[in-house]
Amino acid sequence: MGGRTRLIDVATHAGVSQATASRALVDDPRISARTRAAVKAAAAELQYIPNAAARNLRSRRTRTLGLVIVDLSDPFHGMVAQGFEMAAGEAGYTVIFASGLSDPVRERRALKVFVEHGTDGIALVSSVLDPREARSRAEPDPLVLVQPDHRTLMPGRDPLPDGVVQTDDVGGVEQIVDHLIERGYRDIGYVGAGVLPSNAVRRETAVRRLRHHGVRRPLRRFQAGIEGYRSPGALAAIVQQSLPEALICYDDKLALALLDALRGLGVRVPDHVAIVGFDDVPFASIANPRLTTVTTPTHEMGRVAARGLIQAIQTGTMPPATLLPVRLAPRESTPPVTSADRRPPARATTTPSTSTTSPRPDSDSATGRTGRPRGSAGAALSTTAMVHA
Amino acid sequence: MGGRTRLIDVATHAGVSQATASRALVDDPRISARTRAAVKAAAAELQYIPNAAARNLRSRRTRTLGLVIVDLSDPFHGMVAQGFEMAAGEAGYTVIFASGLSDPVRERRALKVFVEHGTDGIALVSSVLDPREARSRAEPDPLVLVQPDHRTLMPGRDPLPDGVVQTDDVGGVEQIVDHLIERGYRDIGYVGAGVLPSNAVRRETAVRRLRHHGVRRPLRRFQAGIEGYRSPGALAAIVQQSLPEALICYDDKLALALLDALRGLGVRVPDHVAIVGFDDVPFASIANPRLTTVTTPTHEMGRVAARGLIQAIQTGTMPPATLLPVRLAPRESTPPVTSADRRPPARATTTPSTSTTSPRPDSDSATGRTGRPRGSAGAALSTTAMVHA
DNA sequence: TAGGGTCGTGCAAACGGTTGCACAAGAGGG
DNA sequence: CCCTCTTGTGCAACCGTTTGCACGACCCTA
């Protein structure tokens, strides 16, 4: 623990009592400037390092936050974790973490360890636990949940509880649909993953938005195994059906895996089918073809979670739910429908393929943002939109 | 902190003294089975949660490990972190972390916070700090360094200090070169990144291995900006020169960015130039074309680091340096040189492109592992090879 | 039956800070 | 000149465990 020098040593060295030294170091206004300076000088000279355990024991606070992250191998979550840690650090908080791996047992264990360690607050990212259970296990810590958009589609129902941070997936999917419509796509499909509520939210939002645009053709539904994107055959069922003009995928991981699977079958993207992802993982912008997707503010999610937690700790009241805006990033995988481009995969080997098309810069800027960034529901456009559910 | 019940409550409830209760809960052999059971029952009934601060204060240990990770947005490091956390958790240790972002100031601050918190051990992943400085700042904690291969090329010189975990990059690059030679490539280039020692190690290993194979043509050297893979023009200089038959890239991130840049210029991979990466990030295997690369045991790196640290804590002696074996994953980006395939980029738009080639399964298994997994130096083939430098 | 071991438990002292409260000294007001 | 405030500091208790040591009970053996 702290080298060898303790507070009492510093106090002695500065010629004051331990209590005064303690107060001087935390800038207690009752201590005179002279004394404070002397104490600090002594502390510096002796290389005093406070003992957190002792401090925590007495003050009953640890200035430590617990973070349960689902999977750090996933850059998406890694970025959330990073944002969280940075915001925490800036506020003088330390982060202890554990990976939940979508396993309720692991998540519970992590919560227990955190509480035992005396964390002042806990954040759960993409937890699989029931929110009520999570809250009770986090007791007495305030708890913040970072998760995909779980709002049901019925506006007004199921208001977002306080202390929840989520992205505006509804708005994101709306932007995707608007973009596809504008580019001339009409026959659209959705590739879901797993049975997560967020999957249903995205799918149903697409259905709804198509209807909003007066498109008669219903959304065609496809399904990939839960997290089984990489397993052979997980995507085969999808890929071997007759495909629509465009496929909206649950997220980028799925979209990129699908890209690979389609290529294996000679189906060319976007010539035969357009693909859209969600999240804008680092690789999406340099995939071949570059993937049209929705950029989510990952760092920001972590930041907001950490700040909310700290606010809850300091003021005692949990901040209201936060809905973070997202923005469409149009790229190569969804070009405008210009001609009779759309042909069955049979002719695959004869038509010039994607990688042969003339170099085209990331259409991010070229196209401008077609999907007007109009949030759904009460989503504002500021960086952190507070929705008073 | 712990709900409300304290150890004394448990003791009273079980009808024993606090000392006995304390011992019973940690299975002190001096306590009789009957008493132990009674105490545990009482603890369970009262939902006793020990107060870590008090425990830490008295026992002068925290069962906590500090992890400074360079960048969690990077899946490579995320996986290392995950392996670390899991191994730590299995041994009953908790992990607190901070991101260093290749910033010495941040790293120092993190170390200070860790020591203050009383971590029992600290691991630095891809640190930019001088090892000696890091060690002294971690005092009195044992410190483990996880880093790319820093061995100099002169065997016997600069022996690896204890407590270092690294991958066998030398062996990896040798496997790459062997693979390229075997597939018929002779004109080979290396694309470096930054000025890291590991970059030099990989480059010089390639030079050496080519010489070993009796290849006369020297390794051609290219250089990308430090971490500037994504910045426009960072790769332009490379891409616009006359290219060799094959390019070995410092890592996958660079290779994938290069793939994108080349595509933008109409240079086709692997028809015009073969590409090899390093690390085998999740996306390498589904890139277009699928990237030949070297698989590094990321989780294992984290695991080994954590276990080594815990061993150091418990036995007081730092385990010797560890060199983790790596394995080549041959894929589409380096097909055998069969014909007069190799042509200048000029003819780009006329030849059928990669994505049109008939579906080919990941040649990982199809080709078999051509690069015989033969570690260099003292690297063994077991999962964790100890090199007693 | 006394003496020497075990065995199981309890006493009380740490661990190193923070903080409620008392108090001394000096300032200002009546 | 006395009294009341304000300001700055110190005293000592306390946070909740772990742990060195002492001790009583019991079992053997001599």
Listing DSSP states for B161-218 in one string gives PTTEEEE-HHHHHHHHHHHHHHTT--SEEEEEETT-HHHHHHHHHHHHHHHHTT--SP
Q: Does A59 touch chain B (CB under 8 A)?
A: no
User: In chain A, at which residue ranges do the beta strands (DSSP E only) sit?
Assistant: 64-69, 94-99, 121-125, 143-147, 164-167, 188-193, 220-224, 246-249, 274-276, 293-295, 322-324, 327-329, 385-386
Q: Does B268 touch chain A (CB under 8 A)?
A: yes
Contact B265 A359 (CB under 8 A): yes
Average the pLDDT over B218-226 and give the result: 79
Distance CA(A287)–CA(B286), nearest Å, equals 9
Q: Tokens for A165, please give them.
A: 């941070």
- Is the pLDDT reported for residue A192 higher than 90? no
Residue A74's pLDDT is 87
CB of B35 within 7 Å of some strand C atom: yes
Return the exposure string of B132-145: e unless at least 16 CB atoms fall within 10 Å of the residue's CB, then b: eebbebbeebbbbb
Contact B98 A82 (CB under 8 A): no
Average the pLDDT over B321-330 and give the result: 95
Contact B264 A359 (CB under 8 A): yes
Average the pLDDT over B55-73 and give the result: 94
Average the pLDDT over B315-337 and give the result: 94
> Shortest Cα distance from B1 to chain A (angstroms)?
5
Share of chain A above pLDDT 70, in %: 80
CB of A51 within 7 Å of some strand C atom: yes
Distance CA(A164)–CA(B62), nearest Å, equals 31
**Which of A94, A286, A358 is the closest to B260 by Cβ?**
A286
Distance CA(A145)–CA(A109), nearest Å, equals 17
Q: Tokens for A314, please give them.
A: 């300091």
Distance CA(B77)–CA(B301), nearest Å, equals 10
Average the pLDDT over A211-225 and give the result: 87
Given pLDDT bands bounded at 50, 70 and 90, which one contains residue A335?
Answer: very high
pLDDT tens by residue, B22-38? 999 999 888 999 999 99
> Residues near A234 by Cβ (< 8 Å), separated by ≥ 6?
A224, A225, A228
CB of A19 within 7 Å of some strand C atom: yes
> Shortest Cα distance from B25 to chain A (angstroms)?
15
- Is the pLDDT reported for residue A380 higher than 50? no
Q: Does A343 touch chain B (CB under 8 A)?
A: no
> Shortest Cα distance from A217 to chain B (angstroms)?
31
CB of A236 within 7 Å of some strand C atom: no
Q: Given its phi and psi angles, is residue A132 left (phi above 0), alpha (psi -120 to 50 degrees) or beta?
A: alpha
Contact B264 A361 (CB under 8 A): yes
* DSSP letters spanning A197-227: HHHHHHHHHHHHHHHHTT--SPPEEEEE-TT
Residue B383's pLDDT is 28
**CA–C1' nearest nucleotide, residue A9:** C16
Q: What is the mean pLDDT of chain A?
A: 82
- Is the pLDDT reported for residue B353 higher than 70? no
pTM here is: 0.85
